[in-house]
Amino acid sequence: MAGPRPVVLSGPSGAGKSTLLKKLMKEYDSVFGFSVSHTTRSPRPGEENGKDYHFVTREVMQAGIDKGDFIENAEFSGNMYGTSKAAVHDVQAKNLICILDIDMQGVRNIKQTDLNAIYISIQPPSTEILEKRLRDRKTESEDSLQRRLRAAKVDMEFSKEAGVFDVVIVNDNLDVAYGQLKDALLEEINMVKKTSASS
Ligand SMILES: Nc1ncnc2c1ncn2[C@@H]1O[C@H](COP(=O)(O)OP(=O)(O)OP(=O)(O)O)[C@@H](O)[C@H]1O
Ligand SMILES: Nc1nc2c(ncn2[C@@H]2O[C@H](COP(=O)(O)O)[C@@H](O)[C@H]2O)c(=O)[nH]1
Protein backbone atom coordinates (compact mmCIF):
# COMPACT_ATOMS: atom_id res chain seq x y z
CA MET A 1 0.00 0.00 0.00
CA ALA A 2 1.33 3.47 -0.86
CA GLY A 3 1.65 6.03 1.94
CA PRO A 4 4.23 7.13 4.45
CA ARG A 5 7.20 4.84 5.00
CA PRO A 6 6.96 2.67 8.12
CA VAL A 7 9.58 3.13 10.84
CA VAL A 8 11.30 0.14 12.39
CA LEU A 9 12.74 0.72 15.87
CA SER A 10 15.06 -2.02 17.02
CA GLY A 11 17.78 -2.51 19.60
CA PRO A 12 18.45 -4.44 22.80
CA SER A 13 15.69 -5.02 25.32
CA GLY A 14 15.97 -2.17 27.82
CA ALA A 15 17.66 0.28 25.43
CA GLY A 16 14.63 2.58 25.58
CA LYS A 17 12.64 1.86 22.38
CA SER A 18 9.21 1.93 24.06
CA THR A 19 10.11 5.03 26.08
CA LEU A 20 11.13 6.88 22.93
CA LEU A 21 8.25 5.72 20.77
CA LYS A 22 5.69 6.60 23.45
CA LYS A 23 7.11 10.15 23.59
CA LEU A 24 6.91 10.36 19.80
CA MET A 25 3.34 9.12 19.67
CA LYS A 26 2.33 11.54 22.43
CA GLU A 27 3.82 14.55 20.66
CA TYR A 28 2.64 13.48 17.19
CA ASP A 29 -0.54 11.53 17.87
CA SER A 30 -2.02 12.34 14.46
CA VAL A 31 1.17 11.35 12.61
CA PHE A 32 2.26 7.98 14.03
CA GLY A 33 0.42 4.72 14.69
CA PHE A 34 1.86 1.75 16.56
CA SER A 35 1.96 -1.69 14.98
CA VAL A 36 0.55 -3.85 17.77
CA SER A 37 2.52 -7.09 17.77
CA HIS A 38 1.41 -10.49 18.99
CA THR A 39 3.32 -12.18 21.78
CA THR A 40 3.08 -15.30 23.92
CA ARG A 41 4.67 -13.60 26.93
CA SER A 42 2.51 -12.57 29.88
CA PRO A 43 1.38 -8.96 30.18
CA ARG A 44 3.37 -6.71 32.53
CA PRO A 45 1.52 -4.56 35.06
CA GLY A 46 -0.12 -1.71 33.17
CA GLU A 47 0.09 -3.35 29.74
CA GLU A 48 -3.19 -3.58 27.84
CA ASN A 49 -4.23 -6.35 25.50
CA GLY A 50 -4.72 -4.93 22.00
CA LYS A 51 -2.80 -1.74 22.82
CA ASP A 52 0.70 -2.81 23.90
CA TYR A 53 0.46 -6.30 22.42
CA HIS A 54 -2.06 -8.92 21.45
CA PHE A 55 -1.33 -11.42 24.21
CA VAL A 56 -1.96 -14.91 22.87
CA THR A 57 -1.10 -18.54 23.53
CA ARG A 58 1.54 -20.39 21.51
CA GLU A 59 -1.24 -22.41 19.87
CA VAL A 60 -3.11 -19.32 18.69
CA MET A 61 0.08 -17.65 17.49
CA GLN A 62 1.28 -20.74 15.64
CA ALA A 63 -2.13 -21.13 13.96
CA GLY A 64 -1.93 -17.51 12.75
CA ILE A 65 1.60 -18.06 11.41
CA ASP A 66 0.50 -21.24 9.62
CA LYS A 67 -2.42 -19.35 8.05
CA GLY A 68 0.01 -16.71 6.70
CA ASP A 69 -1.31 -13.89 8.91
CA PHE A 70 2.17 -12.66 9.91
CA ILE A 71 4.71 -10.54 8.04
CA GLU A 72 7.42 -11.74 10.39
CA ASN A 73 7.77 -13.66 13.63
CA ALA A 74 10.59 -14.57 15.98
CA GLU A 75 11.43 -16.38 19.17
CA PHE A 76 12.95 -14.00 21.74
CA SER A 77 13.90 -14.76 25.33
CA GLY A 78 11.68 -17.85 25.44
CA ASN A 79 8.59 -16.27 23.90
CA MET A 80 7.11 -15.83 20.43
CA TYR A 81 6.66 -12.36 18.94
CA GLY A 82 5.29 -11.36 15.57
CA THR A 83 3.96 -8.57 13.38
CA SER A 84 0.66 -9.43 11.74
CA LYS A 85 -0.28 -8.11 8.32
CA ALA A 86 -3.37 -6.59 9.97
CA ALA A 87 -1.27 -4.66 12.52
CA VAL A 88 0.56 -2.78 9.79
CA HIS A 89 -2.46 -2.49 7.50
CA ASP A 90 -4.64 -0.95 10.26
CA VAL A 91 -2.13 1.89 10.74
CA GLN A 92 -1.42 2.44 7.06
CA ALA A 93 -5.15 2.56 6.27
CA LYS A 94 -5.30 5.71 8.44
CA ASN A 95 -2.42 7.24 6.45
CA LEU A 96 -0.24 7.30 9.55
CA ILE A 97 3.44 6.44 9.85
CA CYS A 98 3.46 2.88 11.15
CA ILE A 99 6.02 2.27 13.93
CA LEU A 100 7.26 -1.27 14.49
CA ASP A 101 9.19 -2.15 17.67
CA ILE A 102 10.91 -5.41 16.76
CA ASP A 103 14.07 -7.39 17.50
CA MET A 104 16.96 -7.98 15.09
CA GLN A 105 15.44 -11.16 13.62
CA GLY A 106 12.41 -9.04 12.76
CA VAL A 107 14.66 -6.45 11.12
CA ARG A 108 16.26 -9.11 8.92
CA ASN A 109 12.83 -10.46 7.94
CA ILE A 110 11.18 -7.08 7.31
CA LYS A 111 14.10 -6.24 5.04
CA GLN A 112 12.98 -9.12 2.78
CA THR A 113 9.52 -7.52 2.33
CA ASP A 114 8.35 -4.60 0.22
CA LEU A 115 7.59 -2.41 3.28
CA ASN A 116 10.34 0.09 2.39
CA ALA A 117 10.85 0.98 6.04
CA ILE A 118 13.21 3.42 7.72
CA TYR A 119 15.43 1.40 10.08
CA ILE A 120 16.50 2.98 13.37
CA SER A 121 18.58 1.23 16.00
CA ILE A 122 18.28 2.38 19.62
CA GLN A 123 21.39 1.39 21.56
CA PRO A 124 22.29 1.73 25.25
CA PRO A 125 25.43 3.68 26.27
CA SER A 126 26.97 0.46 27.68
CA THR A 127 26.03 -3.08 28.72
CA GLU A 128 26.38 -2.05 32.37
CA ILE A 129 23.83 0.74 31.97
CA LEU A 130 21.56 -1.57 29.99
CA GLU A 131 21.64 -4.14 32.80
CA LYS A 132 20.87 -1.45 35.38
CA ARG A 133 17.91 -0.19 33.35
CA LEU A 134 16.51 -3.68 32.91
CA ARG A 135 16.95 -4.48 36.62
CA ASP A 136 15.42 -1.16 37.68
CA ARG A 137 12.45 -1.79 35.37
CA LYS A 138 11.67 -4.85 37.53
CA THR A 139 9.84 -6.68 34.75
CA GLU A 140 12.16 -9.65 34.26
CA SER A 141 13.01 -12.78 36.20
CA GLU A 142 16.76 -13.38 36.60
CA ASP A 143 16.57 -16.00 33.83
CA SER A 144 14.78 -13.66 31.43
CA LEU A 145 17.18 -10.84 32.30
CA GLN A 146 20.22 -13.00 31.51
CA ARG A 147 18.69 -14.13 28.20
CA ARG A 148 18.00 -10.52 27.27
CA LEU A 149 21.55 -9.46 28.14
CA ARG A 150 22.95 -12.29 25.99
CA ALA A 151 20.72 -11.22 23.09
CA ALA A 152 21.79 -7.60 23.68
CA LYS A 153 25.46 -8.43 23.04
CA VAL A 154 24.56 -9.88 19.63
CA ASP A 155 22.24 -6.95 18.91
CA MET A 156 24.92 -4.37 19.74
CA GLU A 157 27.24 -6.03 17.18
CA PHE A 158 24.40 -6.26 14.63
CA SER A 159 23.82 -2.49 14.90
CA LYS A 160 27.38 -1.94 13.60
CA GLU A 161 26.80 -3.99 10.40
CA ALA A 162 27.09 -1.69 7.42
CA GLY A 163 23.90 -0.95 5.52
CA VAL A 164 21.42 -2.37 8.03
CA PHE A 165 20.29 0.75 9.88
CA ASP A 166 19.66 4.21 8.48
CA VAL A 167 20.34 5.74 11.89
CA VAL A 168 21.87 4.43 15.11
CA ILE A 169 20.93 6.41 18.24
CA VAL A 170 22.71 5.93 21.55
CA ASN A 171 20.08 6.53 24.23
CA ASP A 172 22.17 8.04 27.04
CA ASN A 173 20.39 11.30 27.82
CA LEU A 174 16.72 10.73 26.97
CA ASP A 175 16.04 14.25 25.69
CA VAL A 176 19.09 14.17 23.42
CA ALA A 177 18.14 10.74 22.05
CA TYR A 178 14.55 11.90 21.50
CA GLY A 179 15.80 14.95 19.60
CA GLN A 180 17.91 12.69 17.37
CA LEU A 181 14.93 10.44 16.72
CA LYS A 182 12.75 13.38 15.73
CA ASP A 183 15.49 14.75 13.46
CA ALA A 184 15.75 11.38 11.71
CA LEU A 185 12.01 11.37 11.05
CA LEU A 186 11.42 15.06 10.35
CA GLU A 187 11.00 14.65 6.60
CA GLU A 188 8.36 11.92 6.97
CA ILE A 189 6.60 13.82 9.79
CA ASN A 190 6.34 16.96 7.66
CA MET A 191 5.09 14.95 4.69
CA VAL A 192 2.25 13.41 6.72
CA LYS A 193 1.35 16.77 8.27
CA LYS A 194 1.23 18.37 4.80
CA THR A 195 -0.93 15.58 3.38
CA SER A 196 -3.43 15.73 6.25
CA ALA A 197 -3.60 19.55 6.07
CA SER A 198 -4.50 19.42 2.36
CA SER A 199 -7.17 16.72 2.68
N1 LIG B 1 17.77 7.70 28.55
C2 LIG B 1 17.37 6.99 29.60
N3 LIG B 1 17.94 7.19 30.81
C4 LIG B 1 17.55 6.45 31.88
N5 LIG B 1 16.61 5.50 31.86
C6 LIG B 1 15.99 5.26 30.69
C7 LIG B 1 16.34 5.99 29.50
N8 LIG B 1 15.58 5.54 28.49
C9 LIG B 1 14.78 4.57 29.01
N10 LIG B 1 15.04 4.42 30.33
C11 LIG B 1 14.40 3.43 31.25
O12 LIG B 1 14.98 2.17 30.93
C13 LIG B 1 14.02 1.13 31.04
C14 LIG B 1 13.96 0.39 29.70
O15 LIG B 1 13.34 1.24 28.74
P16 LIG B 1 12.24 0.67 27.74
O17 LIG B 1 11.26 -0.19 28.45
O18 LIG B 1 11.73 1.83 26.97
O19 LIG B 1 13.19 -0.23 26.83
P20 LIG B 1 12.83 -1.11 25.54
O21 LIG B 1 13.97 -0.96 24.61
O22 LIG B 1 11.49 -0.73 25.03
O23 LIG B 1 12.81 -2.55 26.15
P24 LIG B 1 12.03 -3.87 25.62
O25 LIG B 1 12.58 -4.18 24.29
O26 LIG B 1 12.34 -4.89 26.66
O27 LIG B 1 10.56 -3.55 25.57
C28 LIG B 1 12.71 1.78 31.43
O29 LIG B 1 12.51 1.63 32.82
C30 LIG B 1 12.91 3.26 31.05
O31 LIG B 1 12.17 4.12 31.90
N1 LIG C 1 10.59 -9.84 15.72
C2 LIG C 1 9.76 -9.21 16.56
N3 LIG C 1 10.21 -8.72 17.72
C4 LIG C 1 9.35 -8.08 18.51
C5 LIG C 1 8.00 -7.91 18.17
N6 LIG C 1 7.38 -7.23 19.17
C7 LIG C 1 8.32 -6.96 20.08
N8 LIG C 1 9.51 -7.48 19.69
C9 LIG C 1 10.80 -7.41 20.38
O10 LIG C 1 10.82 -8.34 21.42
C11 LIG C 1 11.76 -7.93 22.39
C12 LIG C 1 11.18 -8.09 23.77
O13 LIG C 1 10.04 -7.30 23.96
P14 LIG C 1 9.36 -7.19 25.40
O15 LIG C 1 8.15 -6.33 25.19
O16 LIG C 1 9.06 -8.57 25.87
O17 LIG C 1 10.39 -6.54 26.30
C18 LIG C 1 12.10 -6.47 22.08
O19 LIG C 1 13.40 -6.46 21.49
C20 LIG C 1 11.07 -6.08 21.05
O21 LIG C 1 11.58 -5.15 20.13
C22 LIG C 1 7.56 -8.44 16.93
O23 LIG C 1 6.38 -8.35 16.54
N24 LIG C 1 8.46 -9.08 16.17
Ligand number nearest CA of 40 is 2
Burial class (CB in 10 A: 0-12, 13-18, 19+), 26: exposed
- Residues sharing a CB contact under 8 Å with residue 147, sequence separation 6 or more, in sequence order: 77, 78
The H-or-E segment that residue 54 falls in is strand 54-55
In degrees, to the nearest 5, what angle opens at C-alpha 115 toward C-alphas 19 and 21? 10
Domain boundaries, the chain: 7-198
Pocket of ligand 2 (CB under 6 A): 13, 17, 37, 41, 72, 74, 76, 81-83, 101-103, 105-106
Tell how far CA 13 is from the center of its chain. Answer: 10
- Describe the strand order of the beta sheet including 54-55 as a list of residue ranges: 54-55, 38-39, 79-84, 70-76
Mark whether 44 is an active-site residue: yes
**Cβ 137 under 6 angstroms from ligand 1:** yes
Q: What is the CATH number of domain 7-198?
A: 3.40.50.300
* Contact indicator for 54, 36 with CB cutoff of 8 Å: yes
Which ligand 1 atom sits nearest the alpha carbon of residue 22?
Answer: 18
What's the rounded Cα separation, in Å, for the pair 25 and 23?
A: 6
Atom of ligand 1 nearest to the CA of 171: 1
The reported pLDDT for the residue numbered 2 is: 61
Averaged over successive runs of 10 residues, the pLDDT of the chain (199 residues) comes to: 86 98 95 97 97 98 98 97 98 96 98 97 98 97 97 97 97 98 96 86
pLDDT value of residue 198: 83
- Cβ-proximal residues to 34 (8 Å cutoff; 6+ apart), any chain: 21, 25, 91, 98, 99, 101
Is residue 58 annotated as part of the catalytic site, yes or no?
no
* 8 Å CB contact between 17 and 10: yes
